[in-house]
Structure 1
Amino acid sequence: MKKKLQFFWAEWIPKYRVAFVWLAILISTCKPAEAHLSSSFYWQQEQLRITGKVTDQAGVTLTGISIKVKGQNTGAVTDDKGNYAIIVNNVSAVFIFSYLGFTTQEVAIGDRRIVNVQMIAAPNSLNEVAVIGYGTQKRERVTSAVATVKAENFAKGAVTDAGQLLRGKVAGLSVVTPDGNPTGVSQINLRGITTIVSGREPLVLIDNVPGTLTTVAPEDIESIDVLKDGSAAAIYGTRGTNGVILITTKKVNGETPPTLEINSYFTTQRITRKLDFMSPSQYRDLVSMKKIGAFDYGASTDWLKEVTQTPFSQVYNASLKGGSNKTNYIANFNYRRQEGLIRKSNNNIMYPRLEVNHQMFDGKLKFNVNLNGYQQEYFSGADGSAFRTDVYRNALTYNPTDPIRDAQGNFTEHTDKTDYANPVSLLEETDGLIQNSNFRTIGTVTYSPINDLKVMLLGSRDLFNSTRGYYETKQHLSTRRDRRNGYASRGTTRSVEDLAELTATYSKGFNDHDFTALGGYSWRQTNYQDYFMQNWDFPADDFSYNNMGAGLALERGEAQQNSYQRENKLVGYFFRLNYSFKNRYLLMASVRREGSSKFGTNYKYGSFPAVSLGWNLIRESFLRDSKVVSALKIRGGYGITGTEPSEPYMSLDRLNFNTQILINGQWIQAINPSTNANPNLRWERKQETNLGVDFGFLNNRITGAIDLYKRTTKDLLLDYTVPTPPYLYNTIRANAASMENKGIEVQLNFRAIERTNFSWNTTINYSTNRNKLVSLSDENFQLASGYFDAGDTGEPIQQRISRVQIGQPIGNFWGFKSLDIDQNGYWIIEGKDGKPKPIAQQQADDKQVIGNGLPKHFLNWNHSFAYKNFDLNIIMRGAFGFQILNTSRMFYEAPVMLTRGNVLSTAYDNVYGKRPLADNQSLNYVSYYIENGDYWKIDNITFGYNLKLKNTPVKSMRLYLSGSNIATITKYKGIDPEVSMAGLTPGLDNRNRYPATSTYTIGAMLNF
């Protein structure tokens, strides 16, 4: 009898368990008298013990992995060998495996009693896959400086472009948002300034095709990879000097049920800081003191209030994806309706994208079609631009006692004053619209004749069209002051970029060796067309800018019209080899041979080699079983990249047909040279060495990387003065200068707290850069002075701002060092001999370096908290060791500017603790207005709540609140210390800037 029972339990129960389950369910639904029996039977049959082991992708057991039974409080944690055991009461139970640093997985146990799980590394883990040029690579095998940021780690809240997603996320990559203009784009600088007159932006590739930070909607981005050093970027040749940003849009892989994701948020803004200009009552005090230039017109007007608004912006993103193993798709639509702080400033964009994948012949042949682009429309406040710079400035400086309109209903104007206009009139008496459209078609065909070989053909066309219109009415200041009697302009731009690339990748592994070889060819052609025309003296305002021929100025030969077209080609051949021995010793070597039609006859082609090595010490026997060190890799790389000239045809003789000569009373068109030919014009060549270490401790609870780099850029382009003859023109653009950048980058990631219901993850990254101009000359072209000056203060000061000088960094402010003021309120400056002297005795050689606008140090500190269904993300960042030229103070803290309108309330404060400046002390560019720019920002706080919805079409929902640019700790007195870093005058706080803003967002994300 005992043996029969044993046979029953051992053989019949497992074999017919489904029948027994249904029988138990049936019994449980019977009458109450049988309830006790059915409950006991069900418990005996369905209480199951599930065991298993949890490992990572490399097969390493993981300790402390949290396992929960979905919908229950039952759970377990893996032991030091990665094992776990859980008792469940239902074969339909679903386990949730989670651990900070790994992707959460839901696993149904089904009929299994042993459930082993392999955890997939989450973003910022050393084991993730990084996107590199023309392919991907396991993070463990990366030997160059490559940073990866996934969507879940992007900066949260309202963002306007892809660059803002990276704020504070990547060491060495500074992302600056210098103002709140809704059409503005982030300024990105990677490892310092490497050029003088060429482009400074990194190469941006969206799904392997060149684009910009605004080409794709931020909500449609899956990940961003940054190739920071020369060994990583050299595969892109002449486009890689400023680094490479690889943007990957959201994808669908394999069989996917139809899924709809909706993300919508609403945003408002406020000005970060209002500059303290004289109020009407304060201004009237100046009138009562009979200050020169102060007039009381009887009104009290808050001009800043009149030109600003409380903006309300809205963003909607819908993503639909699905498909089978052979054919799948993703369709994304993004609509953005953005309003700016200044009235009429706006930005309306639609981003459609459709991507379809299909494979056949057992996956050997794959097709991908990607159609995307955008349509954009925004108000044009000036010729060809979105924001009229003098609106904000005049809102600050217009007389606060002036009424908006006079007794006759006309806008008040004072045409006798220079650079002074009614800001409300500037807005109301203008009409303008800019309409942009971008259509990108991308297609790839991938064929794998054998398992280890992949051949891919990529073709794309990027088509951009822009139409611009602008009109100033007959009531505009331009009519009253300049007698234009209605002014209009129109313009159109069209650009086409065609790209074709053929690549072949062969991967092979045998024994302890792994090889991946890449070879390819790239062809790119760019065509750009533009026309512009203007006219004025119109009979009426009715047609705005839509009847250009009605104006009389063009007929009289006073207005201009012009058109332009240019074209250039770029071809490249490239090869790369990756080798790994036991995942221990790593090698990457590449070379690109590239030619450009922009180069001179003697230098049509250039070669860009790179090599990098890595040593995974964690694979060595002396560290393999370490309980402390969980990852350790040393790497080093060297690479050469280049920069193309910004314009084509610069190597050729070009003629100018725009000169008119008066001969015998008639104007005759003349032809004269406009540029000199330079057959030696070539690429700017950057050589970069990078040494780095990647590390992880305590089972990767602490991870990070440290990089040291030195980059030397030679053959920098600059315009040189040359004699005529032998040259036909007095300047030539040539390669002769050189520059050096070196620095350190540190990235640290901490999984600080990991509990069942609470986690805290924090990251810190720090970078420093030192820039130096090494030379401005070579054996053929010299700049005898060893320097040149850049930037301009504007009238009435009319002085250069910065000096670019051999042996000095870019960004040096060059002006008079102020020491004091005399008893009459006039500046005392330091002379070239180091002794004080009155400003009236100034000489040009008294000027000196009075600051530098490039930050020497960047620090970012990010936090991510999670408690049950709540999450909190905080981004803090700062820049240190730089100065800012506060032009608002330089112009409007001087009493003399009262003759041109309003002034700052500090204009009559004591200077150097003595007395105010003299009423007739002219404006001067002195060090008194150079301020310490150091700042620390609480840049973003986002609070979210995630909830599961039952019995509804909505699978999950996330609600969140977010604030950006919330608070700034700084001693800087301007509106915001985060100012432009562009060009040769970084650190310049332009008084005409669009005001900086703080942004507040409420949003929801829904999954169907």
Structure 2
Amino acid sequence: MQDGHYIIIKKSIPAVFVKPISGVVTDEKGEPLPGVSISVKGSHAGTISNEKGVFSLNSSTDNDTLVISYVGYKTQEVPVKGTSQLTIRLALSENSLQDVVVIGYGSQRKGDLTSSVATVKSESFVKGNVLDAGQLLQGKVAGLSVSAPSGDPTSGTQILLRGNTTLLGANSSPLILIDGIPGDLKTVAPEDIESMDVLKDGSAAAIYGTRGTNGVIIVTTRRPGGAYTNTVDYSGYVGTQTVARKMDMLTAADYRQQIADGTRDKSWDLGSSTDWQKAITQTPITHVHNLTFRGGNSKTNYLANVNYRSLEGIMKKSDNNTFTGRVDINHSMLDDKLRINVGLLNSNNKFTTTGDGISFNGYTYRQALIRNPTSPIYDSTGKWFEQTGLFNYENPLSRLYESSGENTSQNTRMNSTITLLPIEGLKLSALFSYTRYNEERGYSETKQHISTLRDGRNGYASVGSLQNVQRLMELTAQYNKNIGKHKFSVMGGYSYQETDYRNSYMQNWDFPTDRFSYNDIGIGYALKQGLAVQFSEKSETNLIGFFGRTTYSYDDKYLLLASLRHEAASQLYGTKQPWGNFPAVSFGWRVSNEPFMKGISWLTDLKLRAGYGVTGTQPTDLFLGVGILSYGDYVYNNGVWIQTLGPSQNPNDKLRWEEKHESNFGVDYTLFNGRVSGNVDYYIRRINGLLYDYAVPSPPNLYSSTRANVGKMENKGLEVMVNIIPVKTKDFEWSTSLMFSTNTNKLITLSNELYQASVDYITTGSTGEPIQTFTNIVRVGRNIGDFYGFKVVDISNDGKWIYEGRDGKPVDYASYQHAFEDKRVLGNGLPRYYGGWNNTFRYKSFDLSVTMRGAFKYQILNFQRMYYENTGLQQYNRLKSAYDKVMGKAVLSTDMPLEFNSNYVENGDFWKIDNITLGYNFNHIQSKYIHGARVYVSTLNTLTLTGYKGIDPEVNRLGLAPGVDDRDKYPSVRTFTVGVNLNF
């Protein structure tokens, strides 16, 4: 106190360091992530991101580190020093057990799966100029064979899962579901797909009953964003193509050398030098553009996608243009207890046709191959140079440019899903969809086309139309409940699907003018003479199913799934068993969660699986259970022409569904906290009741054959998938995956007590003219895909075949009978083994991905060599290899007709460096509008290592005649693309 006053001295308090930190958390695509945990390492301070991914908190020191974690994503640690505003991108965790996998009529946590299901997300898709969405999976899933045998831009991929399962049933491809609705992989833009899930085994696919035998591929398109911010994403690329492997035909110089050597008559030198393969090909330019708009709020959000694909083919007048628009809208009300989703898709496609009803006329390509290389394109008057006196010999450019055609189609899909959540754990859903496909096609040939100059058609035209309408309604109810360590889920539903199909076609010729092309088809004189062809058809089918599924988990260790589908379809109308039951059950045991495994630190997760399921195959024909009468030829009776009507199918009310019974045993594993993971599956498929046509006496039967369920077939296989991250540092990461699968099949029987096959085999496949014989045989006790023909063991000094006789001894050409009994199994067209190796490298902002795959232990019938090594017909050009010494002894004699024998069955093994993509990510763009950008270059079908001498060892693998190459097929192509991705 001083002078009666108190003196108060304020004590100095050290300033507390407070640094505000804010930012946004997004996924790898730049989409905001709500609910992300952000904490300060070593303290209790923390927060979570809001619905827009935005967060803010205070840091107590400039040396603090933030820990960012989110279920299903890799945890990151980010230092705050030197910054107060952060943009954090989280990457998906490797094989996270929390990831959600789409299964039939719902989804399931990956850790709870008891079936064989493979998921491929968009970041792992094959990049570049793919033919359709199926090619995105090429080399990505063990047991799934995806091939693109043709370079035609209108063609699609061939997909085969775990081998062939039918003789006369529907196609061998898996069921395709696009956002839960049956569809086609060519109707969805590859750039608009978020993920694809493959249901491989019977226990997973049985919920789809008669459609599930060949497996199921569930396509999930991109959905409205979770943070509801307005975003725009653009992706696009420009590309070109080259022929992967050109056929090595004789050139004009070769012709003239042969004339000089006296092995070819000089009359075959027509004075020009024409590379006919070059003449009908072009340097194509392809460009693809994709725009995605997202926006909305917590109640209503939307996604709008626009995709344009302009594909040019390597062949002239070969193209494919598609414009697709899609809108998806979500709305919730009543405190999020009622959710409504509405979707609309419209796709318009147009391509040029160079044949009647087909985009690419392989016969034109054949003419380019066999055309005399000294022949000119035009004659002295400027018209097409033709030699009409030579059999099946035409100017390929005349065929292209004296014809015109176009195919246009529109695919429209409207769908809506209403979901009600009345109480906790209960979800009621109703899905409705309407899909309409319309196609119009037209084709014409002018009076300068070879069909007029040689065949006297005097102009030709055809038109056609097709319509397919599908209506689908699915009602489901699902209840989930957790009680302590017990987790239950029960689902039941009803499905009704109906399809209306219409097709019409007309052709006419002998036109007064070329002016109208195919647009005034009725003026052709052939119609007036009663010679024109007119055709139309209509069919209706429906499918009705009741289904249910239950899953159970105890203590995250013991897992169970059981399902049943009860289904009928109109294909079995008139039978006693139109309904089929398709049950499934699978079990899982997470061994790693047992107490006795806790001490094994390197074992992150280990799960054993076992499953069994029954699925069916839908026949392609209708009304199989009833007798059918068909109209036939006209007969003249009492001065009047009367059209006949007679039986074309016997009734058989005992027909039922083909059934596949499949057992699957699997192991899922994760080691070293995700650095190594993968799975192993072994399966056994037994297909009972295979449909086949059996000869029956007539009378008492009305028709000479009856279709019946008799045959049995078996498939076995092993699938192995290994994912490894060998290197992972701050700036560099290398992840690799190895895939291996094997499949064997066998036809067990074709006969039973009631129906006896006349022989124990089926001959199938065709060599075409002029050889005209079958190529493959399916015999009881052997694999599907066997080649069956004459086996050559040597060649004589005068260039004639020496064969293996029936007693195993050599037989010369003159003594050989060339009978069916002389034929032998020459190989098999289905690969026994498949392999794949995918690698991804990331260095700072650069990324490099390399996809490799191969197929082994199979053979191919080389049609090109079988026909184009023909030395007997001087007017046709041929392969240079036609003059090689066969077996190093002699050139093939000109005195033998063409034939199918073992000389043309080659080893088809190959290894492809398929897809290489090099990209650069601009991660630190200082822009108000652009949040991310990436540029890349990519190649597809980059390099093929093979001993096969044909164009490409990837040939047809579907049906009963796999491995048969095509002499006229569209050449395989190698593609090069440059692309960019932008996020706004």
Decide: shared fold, TM above 0.5: yes
Q: Secondary structure at the match of 1:392?
A: helix
Which of 277, 298, 308 is matched with 1:335 structurally?
Answer: 308
Which of 218, 241, 249 is matched with 1:269 structurally?
Answer: 241
Q: Please tell me the residue identity of whatever aligns with 1:192.
A: G
Q: Please tell me the residue identity of whatever aligns with 1:896.
A: G
CA–CA separation in structure 2 for the residues paired with 1:721 and 1:822: 44
- Change in 2 beyond 3 A, CA 1:572/1:293: farther
Q: Please tell me the residue identity of whatever aligns with 2:111.
A: E
Between stretches 640-649 and 585-594, larger displacement belongs to: 640-649
1:792 is aligned to 766
1:30 is aligned to none
> What is the TM-score when the length of structure 1 is the normalising length?
0.90
Which of 458, 470, 473 is matched with 2:431 structurally?
Answer: 458
1:137-148 pair list within 5 angstroms: 137-148=108-119
CA–CA separation in structure 1 for the residues paired with 2:263 and 2:277: 26
The question of 1:771 aligning with 2:771 is answered no
1:806-817 pair list within 5 angstroms: 806-817=780-791
CA deviations 1:271-297 (Å, max 9, x no partner) are: 001111001010122334243797111
Q: Secondary structure at the match of 1:391?
A: helix
Q: Please tell me the residue identity of whatever aligns with 2:547.
A: F
CA–CA separation in structure 2 for the residues paired with 1:54 and 1:575: 47
The question of 1:702 aligning with 2:676 is answered yes
Which of 175, 185, 210 is matched with 1:238 structurally?
Answer: 210
Which of 849, 852, 873 is matched with 1:873 structurally?
Answer: 849
The question of 1:888 aligning with 2:864 is answered yes
Which of 898, 902, 917 is matched with 2:892 structurally?
Answer: 917
CA–CA separation in structure 2 for the residues paired with 1:347 and 1:941: 24
The question of 1:130 aligning with 2:130 is answered no
1:228 is aligned to 200
CA deviations 1:82-129 (Å, max 9, x no partner) are: xxx9986399x9877799x9457798989x99x9x9988536444421
> In 2, are the aligned partners of 1:160 and 1:218 still within 8 Å (CA)?
no
- Change in 2 beyond 3 A, CA 1:659/1:868: same
Which of 828, 835, 841 is matched with 1:852 structurally?
Answer: 828
> In 2, are the aligned partners of 1:121 and 1:128 still within 8 Å (CA)?
no
Between stretches 725-734 and 478-487, larger displacement belongs to: 725-734
> In 2, are the aligned partners of 1:897 and 1:903 still within 8 Å (CA)?
no
1:727 is aligned to 701
2:329 is aligned to 356
Q: Please tell me the residue identity of whatever aligns with 2:246.
A: K
**How many residue pairs end up in the alignment?**
944
Q: Secondary structure at the match of 2:867?
A: helix
Deviation at 1:784, TM superposition (A): 2.4
Q: Please tell me the residue identity of whatever aligns with 2:744.
A: R
Which of 148, 157, 174 is matched with 2:128 structurally?
Answer: 157
CA deviations 1:843-874 (Å, max 9, x no partner) are: 22010100100000000000000000000000
> In 2, are the aligned partners of 1:287 and 1:294 still within 8 Å (CA)?
no
Q: Please tell me the residue identity of whatever aligns with 1:532.
A: Y
Q: Please tell me the residue identity of whatever aligns with 2:590.
A: N
1:170-249 pair list within 5 angstroms: 170-198=141-169, 199-249=171-221
1:965 is aligned to 941
2:42 is aligned to 51
- Change in 2 beyond 3 A, CA 1:257/1:785: same
1:825 is aligned to 799
CA–CA separation in structure 2 for the residues paired with 1:853 and 1:348: 34
CA deviations 1:666-704 (Å, max 9, x no partner) are: 432111122222212221100000000000111121000
1:622 is aligned to 596
Deviation at 1:381, TM superposition (A): 1.3
- Change in 2 beyond 3 A, CA 1:586/1:845: same
RMSD: 2.7
CA–CA separation in structure 2 for the residues paired with 1:467 and 1:757: 55
1:680-691 pair list within 5 angstroms: 680-691=654-665
CA deviations 1:215-269 (Å, max 9, x no partner) are: 2100000000000000000000000000000000001244311000000101100
> In 1, are the aligned partners of 2:440 and 2:466 still within 8 Å (CA)?
yes
1:987 is aligned to 963
Deviation at 1:745, TM superposition (A): 0.1
CA–CA separation in structure 2 for the residues paired with 1:123 and 1:381: 48
Q: Secondary structure at the match of 2:665?
A: strand
Between stretches 795-804 and 124-133, larger displacement belongs to: 124-133
Q: Secondary structure at the match of 2:438?
A: strand
CA–CA separation in structure 2 for the residues paired with 1:711 and 1:4: 88
Deviation at 1:168, TM superposition (A): 0.7
Deviation at 1:325, TM superposition (A): 1.1
> In 1, are the aligned partners of 2:255 and 2:264 still within 8 Å (CA)?
no
CA–CA separation in structure 1 for the residues paired with 2:347 and 2:10: 75
CA–CA separation in structure 2 for the residues paired with 1:581 and 1:572: 31
> In 2, are the aligned partners of 1:471 and 1:486 still within 8 Å (CA)?
yes
The question of 1:493 aligning with 2:466 is answered yes
> In 1, are the aligned partners of 2:95 and 2:674 still within 8 Å (CA)?
no
- Change in 2 beyond 3 A, CA 1:122/1:720: farther
Deviation at 1:420, TM superposition (A): 2.5
CA deviations 1:148-180 (Å, max 9, x no partner) are: 001111111221211111011100001001021
Deviation at 1:481, TM superposition (A): 2.4
1:645-684 pair list within 5 angstroms: 645-664=619-638, 666-684=640-658
Which residues of structure 2 form unaligned runs of 5+? Answer: 1-6, 22-38, 49-54
- % identical equivalent positions: 47
Q: Please tell me the residue identity of whatever aligns with 1:568.
A: T
> What is the TM-score when the length of structure 2 is the normalising length?
0.92
CA–CA separation in structure 1 for the residues paired with 2:745 and 2:292: 44
CA–CA separation in structure 1 for the residues paired with 2:74 and 2:265: 70
Deviation at 1:719, TM superposition (A): 1.9
- Change in 2 beyond 3 A, CA 1:913/1:354: same
CA–CA separation in structure 2 for the residues paired with 1:393 and 1:163: 29
CA–CA separation in structure 2 for the residues paired with 1:552 and 1:96: 78
> In 1, are the aligned partners of 2:225 and 2:295 still within 8 Å (CA)?
no
> In 1, are the aligned partners of 2:40 and 2:67 still within 8 Å (CA)?
no
> In 2, are the aligned partners of 1:740 and 1:773 still within 8 Å (CA)?
yes
CA–CA separation in structure 2 for the residues paired with 1:106 and 1:433: 58
Deviation at 1:839, TM superposition (A): 3.2
Q: Please tell me the residue identity of whatever aligns with 1:920.
A: D
> In 1, are the aligned partners of 2:289 and 2:309 still within 8 Å (CA)?
yes
The question of 1:602 aligning with 2:593 is answered no
Q: Please tell me the residue identity of whatever aligns with 2:406.
A: L
Q: Secondary structure at the match of 2:596?
A: helix
CA–CA separation in structure 2 for the residues paired with 1:5 and 1:548: 104
- Change in 2 beyond 3 A, CA 1:665/1:259: same
Deviation at 1:373, TM superposition (A): 3.1
CA deviations 1:579-606 (Å, max 9, x no partner) are: 0000100000000000111114211101
CA–CA separation in structure 1 for the residues paired with 2:43 and 2:108: 30
CA–CA separation in structure 1 for the residues paired with 2:10 and 2:846: 55
Deviation at 1:4, TM superposition (A): 7.4
Which of 401, 418, 428 is matched with 1:445 structurally?
Answer: 418
CA deviations 1:173-193 (Å, max 9, x no partner) are: 010010211011100000011
Deviation at 1:301, TM superposition (A): 0.6
2:4 is aligned to none
> In 2, are the aligned partners of 1:773 and 1:810 still within 8 Å (CA)?
yes
Q: Secondary structure at the match of 1:297?
A: coil
Q: Please tell me the residue identity of whatever aligns with 2:853.
A: R
CA–CA separation in structure 2 for the residues paired with 1:839 and 1:642: 49
Deviation at 1:447, TM superposition (A): 0.2
CA–CA separation in structure 1 for the residues paired with 2:435 and 2:176: 14
- Change in 2 beyond 3 A, CA 1:821/1:633: same
